[in-house]
């Protein structure tokens, strides 16, 4: 009996030792891959930072209004943020590659999914950035046009245009990332419908007189403006 227990224990320890002996090289490979990945990711970060500085990404980001958002959230400048993102995504990728070498059952599928997800993540980020850029450009264009045409509430007009473009960009980002498509679609539909319905009710019934006064004042204002037109030419 005692001999049997000793034999079983010996066998278990031997198997553990064999398993560990089989696992140790993989672990070493993981550490090597992680280390090499860190070096490569760090180099990628430096490269990304240089390229972003070369293309004046921070100025582009300023124009897009992204810098202001980042500053409000106490985050670093956008070129630094993107280069850090490149580093972490790169290093995480290498670590996951190393983990897949360990051969843990079920993990490999998730790792493969992560790598397939990366291009979509980058595409979503690009869409968001371009959306912010477009929102900033068009809202500024609207602001300038409204100010130079002496329209009322130019900032409200500009902010509305910015908001609409950002919401549109966000919905595209969610669609690209395949996140809660149904929820986003429904939420977007409800929000848009609610705004339109609200406006219709406000102008159609509740704000009938207000709308009437507004239109009257606008038309009268325009008429008076035409009457007050300067007789001087700038050129």
Partner 1 sequence: MLEEVSTKKSVAALRTDVKISEEGLLTDDFVRQLINVGEVDILVGLPTYNNAKTVGPVVAAIQSGILQWFPRDRAAIINTDAGSRDGTPEMVVGASIDDVRRREFNRLALRTLHSISMQYGSTVARGTALRTVLSAGELLQAKATAIISPDSTNIQSDWLRDLLKPICRDNFDLVLPTYARHKFEGILVTNLLYPMTRALYGLRIREPYASEFAFSSRLGSQFLAQNQWNDDGAGEGSEVRLTLAAITGGLRIGQSFLGAKNHTDRHAADLVPALRQTVGVLFWSMDPNFLLWSSKTGSQPIPTTGAEQEFTHDPRRVNRKRLHEMFRSGVAELASVFQSILSAATLEELQKIAGLAEEDFHYSAELWVRTVYEFAAAHHKAVISRDHIVQALAPLFRGRALTFLMENRNSSADRVEANIESLCLEFERLKPYLLEMWSGKK
What residues line the site for partner 1 (CB under 8 A)?
59, 62-63, 137, 140-141, 143-148, 150, 154-155, 225, 228-235
Cα(179)–Cα(173) distance, integer angstroms: 9
Q: Give me 217's structure tokens.
A: 């004042």
Give whichever of 45 and 162 is closer to partner 1, judged by the CB atom: 162
Cα(162)–Cα(155) distance, integer angstroms: 10
Give whichever of 101 and 146 is closer to partner 1, judged by the CB atom: 146
Measured in whole angstroms, how far is the alpha carbon of residue 85 from the centre of its chain? 12
Whether 105 and 147 have beta carbons less than 8 Å apart is answered as no
- Minimum gap (Å) between residue 52 Cβ and partner 1: 17
Tokens 């219709």 label which residue? 200
Give whichever of 209 and 231 is closer to partner 1, judged by the CB atom: 231
Give whichever of 148 and 205 is closer to partner 1, judged by the CB atom: 148
- Minimum gap (Å) between residue 218 Cβ and partner 1: 16
The C-alpha angle with vertex 79 and arms to 167 and 36, in degrees rounded to 5, equals 115
Q: Which long-range contacts (CB under 8 A, 24 or more apart) does 15-24 make?
A: 23/102
- Minimum gap (Å) between residue 203 Cβ and partner 1: 25
Give whichever of 8 and 225 is closer to partner 1, judged by the CB atom: 225
Q: What DSSP line would sit under 62-103, residue for residue?
A: HHHTHHHHHHHTTPPPHHHHHHHHHHHHHHHHHHHHHHHHHT
- Minimum gap (Å) between residue 169 Cβ and partner 1: 19
Cα(185)–Cα(90) distance, integer angstroms: 32
- Minimum gap (Å) between residue 62 Cβ and partner 1: 7
Whether 160 and 183 have beta carbons less than 8 Å apart is answered as no
- Minimum gap (Å) between residue 134 Cβ and partner 1: 12
Give whichever of 159 and 171 is closer to partner 1, judged by the CB atom: 159
Cα(19)–Cα(123) distance, integer angstroms: 42
């Amino acid at each position: 009996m005692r001999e049997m227990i000793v034999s079983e224990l010996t066998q278990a320890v031997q198997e553990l030792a064999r398993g560990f002996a089989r696992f140790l090289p993989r672990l070493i490979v993981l550490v090597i891959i992680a280390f090499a990945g860190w070096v490569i990711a760090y180099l990628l970060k430096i490269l990304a930072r240089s390229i972003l500085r070369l293309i004046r990404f921070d100025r582009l980001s300023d124009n897009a209004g992204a810098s202001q958002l980042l500053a409000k959230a106490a985050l670093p400048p956008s070129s630094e943020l993107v280069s850090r993102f490149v580093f972490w995504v790169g290093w995480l990728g290498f670590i996951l590659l190393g983990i897949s070498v360990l051969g843990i059952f079920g993990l490999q599928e998730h790792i493969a999914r992560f790598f397939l997800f990366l291009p979509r993540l980058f595409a979503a980020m690009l869409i968001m950035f371009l959306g912010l850029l477009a929102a900033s450009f068009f809202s500024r264009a609207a602001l300038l046009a409204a100010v130079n045409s002496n329209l009322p509430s130019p900032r409200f007009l500009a902010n509305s245009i910015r908001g609409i473009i950002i919401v549109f960009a966000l919905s595209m980002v969610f669609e690209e990332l395949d996140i809660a498509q149904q929820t986003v679609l429904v939420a977007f539909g409800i929000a848009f419908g609610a705004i339109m319905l609200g406006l219709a009710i406000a102008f159609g019934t509740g704000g009938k007189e207000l709308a009437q006064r507004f239109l009257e004042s606008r038309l009268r204002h325009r008429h008076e403006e035409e009457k007050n037109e300067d007789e001087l030419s700038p050129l």
